[in-house]
Amino acid sequence: MGKRAVLAGTEIEGALRLLPGWKVESGKLRRSLVFPSFREAFAFMTGVALIAEKMNHHPEWSNVYNRVTIDLTTHDAGGITALDVELAEQAEKIAQGLGAGNT
């Protein structure tokens, strides 16, 4: 099964056990983060953007001051795929390195 194949519910549940703070909402992996300041929030978005560009897999997200909400889904597959899980794992590493917490 390729990285762009939609994951089964049990596969998503397994991934979520390894991604604390992430949840499925409206058919997307979602994480809402709060950073110590705008600087860290922007650094997070920059780091994730560089990885997303290499993967050719881009998030939906929003930023207000020190808060970032990131949604991941593979639009052309019609749901959550291994690409979304992989990007979530990378995003989580960056977030934790920048002192992020839950909103």
Local structure of 79: helix, strand or coil: strand
pLDDT of residue 2: 65
Q: Which CATH class is domain 9-102?
A: alpha beta
Domain ranges (residues) in the chain: 9-102
Give the containing element (helix H, strand E) for 24: strand 23-25
> Does 93 score more than 90 pLDDT?
yes
Cα 79 to Cα 34: distance, rounded to the nearest angstrom: 26
pLDDT of residue 101: 87
